[in-house]
Amino acid sequence: MFNKVVTNQTKTMVLLMLVFTAIILLFSGLVYFSIVNFSHQRFYELLKIRTTTIVQIEKSKDHLDLPENYILNSLNDEELPMERDYVFAVPEDSNFRKISQEVHIPDYFFKSIVRKGEANYNDKEFYYIGQTFKYDDKEYIAIASAKNHYVIYYLGFLKRTLITCIVLSLFFSMIFSFYLSKTLFRPILKITGKVKEISSENLHLRLEAQPDNKELNELVDTFNGMLNRIETSFETQNHLIGNVSHELRTPLTSIMGEADVALSINRTADEYKDTLEIILDEAEKLDKKIKALLMIAQTGFDGKIQKMDKVRIDQLLWDVIETLRKIDSRNNIYLDISMLPDNPKKLKVQGNEQLLHLAVANIINNGCKYSNFQQVKVSLGATDTDVYIIVKDFGIGIPEVEMNKIYDPFFRASNTKNYEGYGIGLPLARNIIRMHHGELIVSSHENQGTTVQMRFPNFYSARPERIEKVRI
């Protein structure tokens, strides 16, 4: 529930605050412990200088006379805060328990000095450092101690200063995080608001590019591209509905008209038979158009699974040409094989043979029909990655202003009124070619002819996921 309420902007602000807080705490801790460590080392260095001075003074005496209380100086003569300096003779049995009880310094400290020659120790308030030295073949220990006022008083001030700085830093980091997150998300919120304004009624609206923001501009360009495709789809859909309505209304009008006339007056049996034949003919046309529309829908959207096999395009072309010649002996097709590759494997594609046969046959048949059965040249070639089929006719062509509508189902060019057809061959062929990850390119000039290029990726350059089956 919390994740649904909290926005990404709030999450970003909190994340930035956490990062800033972690950095500030880490930096403050580093500063504090560095200064504490430095103050300890510096104070020990001062004590070491005092200890060395004590040793030198004691060695310079003619006779080393140790005081009874072991303390060399009084509080009034201190060099460091509450300094106390000691000199001890090392007991023959190395037992420092008596001395430890008198000066309140642990005996392990004395033993450490004897073992190492120099050692330091602190009891959280006083700092001690000791050295051994010899005088008249006898071993002694010199210790300097003092209270580290810097650690006790000045570091306390440092703590308070750092805490104050941390609180202020957190406050300012919160303000900065809020401002930064708001600045980062402002363009996104602006885009979101603009997107909410776009609906099916104003698909012409587009998002504006953001200055100096490459990533968001890529998003804007992608979204605008999607809007272009959606707008085109809406226009195509509206055009398709108009075409389909017209194509389906025409035979229905004929059927209804003939039935109405037949029922209006009594007729002879032959007249009723003629009427029924007209109705049957129009019903068959209507059935063909509906089946064609279903075929386009099947090849344009996800549906049943079609099995994909290796298909030799040269063999497929010979089959298509033979089939078209059987359908109409007037079909004059010339197959140009001058661009065939040396390696026949390059002519293999992965696809459904029946669907490919249907697509190629539709393209070649259109070339024959709309060129009034003049010769249609079909060329076959291949590269290392693709197989190409080029169909060229010298027929009536397509008007330039109508080229953008040639893939609309049931659309027929304005110069095709004298030719049979439903306007579904080219859209159907394009859907099938797209299903095979191919490409269909049409170029045409009115009264000069049409050239159609089909490209298919060959079997060996196809992706692994294309190998077995494809959805259509």
What digits encode the pLDDT tens for the residues 36-89?
A: 788 778 888 888 888 888 888 777 776 666 655 556 654 345 467 778 888 888
Residue 463 has pLDDT above 60, yes or no: no
Highest mean pLDDT among 233-242, 256-265, 285-294, 354-363: 354-363
Min mean pLDDT across 6-20, 58-72, 120-134 is at 58-72
Residue 469 has pLDDT above 60, yes or no: no
| Tokens 């344009």, located at residue | 300
What digits encode the pLDDT tens for the residues 167-195?
A: 888 888 888 878 877 777 777 777 777 77
Residue 1 has pLDDT above 50, yes or no: no
Give the pLDDT confidence score for residue 178 in this predicted structure: 80
What digits encode the pLDDT tens for the residues 221-255?
A: 888 888 777 776 676 666 556 656 656 666 777 78
- Termini Cα distance of the chain: 41
Contact 411/423 with Cβ under 8 angstroms?
Answer: yes
Mean pLDDT value of segment 345-351: 89
Mean pLDDT value of segment 249-278: 78
Contact 25/166 with Cβ under 8 angstroms?
Answer: yes
Residue 442 has pLDDT above 90, yes or no: yes
Give the pLDDT confidence score for residue 315 in this predicted structure: 92
What's the pTM value of the predicted model, to 2 decimals? 0.47
Cα–Cα distance for residue pair 296/294, rounded to 1 Å: 5
Contact 85/127 with Cβ under 8 angstroms?
Answer: no
Mean pLDDT value of segment 332-355: 88
Residue 274 is encoded by which pair of tokens? 């003629």
Highest mean pLDDT among 10-14, 176-180, 206-210, 349-353: 349-353
Min mean pLDDT across 268-272, 286-290, 356-360 is at 286-290
What is the share, in percent, of the chain residues with pLDDT greater than 70?
A: 83
| pLDDT, the chain, mean | 79
Of 412 and 333, the structure prediction assigns the larger pLDDT to 333
SS (H, E, C) the chain: CHHHHCCHHHHHHHHHHHHHHHHHHHHHHHHHHHHHHHHHHHHHHHHHHHHHHHHHHHHHCCCCCCCCCCECCCHHHCCCCCCEEEEEECCCCCCCHHHHHHHCCCHHHHHHHHHHCEEEEECCCEEEEEEEEEECCEEEEEEEEEECHHHHHHHHHHHHHHHHHHHHHHHHHHHHHHHHHHHHHHHHHHHHHHHHHCCCCCCCCCCCCCCCCHHHHHHHHHHHHHHHHHHHHHHHHHHHHHHHHHHHHHHHHHHHHHHHHHHHCCCCHHHHHHHHHHHHHHHHHHHHHHHHHHHHHHHHCCCCEEECEEEEHHHHHHHHHHHHHHHCCCCCEEEECCCCCCCHHHHEEEECHHHHHHHHHHHHHHHHHCCCCCCEEEEEEECCCEEEEEEEECCCCCCHHHHHHCCCCCCCCCCCCCCCCCCCHHHHHHHHHHHCCCEEEEEEECCCEEEEEEEEEECCCCCHHHCCEEEC
Q: Binning pLDDT at 50, 70 and 90, where does residue 321 land?
A: very high
Q: Binning pLDDT at 50, 70 and 90, where does residue 376 land?
A: very high
Residue 206 is encoded by which pair of tokens? 């587009």
Give the pLDDT confidence score for residue 2 in this predicted structure: 43
Q: Binning pLDDT at 50, 70 and 90, where does residue 334 land?
A: very high
Give the pLDDT confidence score for residue 465 in this predicted structure: 44
Phi-psi region of 410 (alpha: psi -120 to 50; beta: other; left: phi over 0): left
Give the pLDDT confidence score for residue 260 in this predicted structure: 80
Contact 336/378 with Cβ under 8 angstroms?
Answer: yes
Give the pLDDT confidence score for residue 370 in this predicted structure: 92
Give the pLDDT confidence score for residue 241 in this predicted structure: 65
Residue 5 has pLDDT above 60, yes or no: no
- Indicate the pairing of strand 376-382 with strand 333-336: parallel
Give the pLDDT confidence score for residue 243 in this predicted structure: 59
Instruction: Please name the residues in contact with 426: beta carbons below 8 A apart, sequence gap of 6 or more.
Output: 362, 363, 366, 406, 407, 442
Mean pLDDT value of segment 266-279: 81
Residue 281 has pLDDT above 70, yes or no: yes
Q: Binning pLDDT at 50, 70 and 90, where does residue 449 land?
A: very high
Residue 197 has pLDDT above 90, yes or no: no
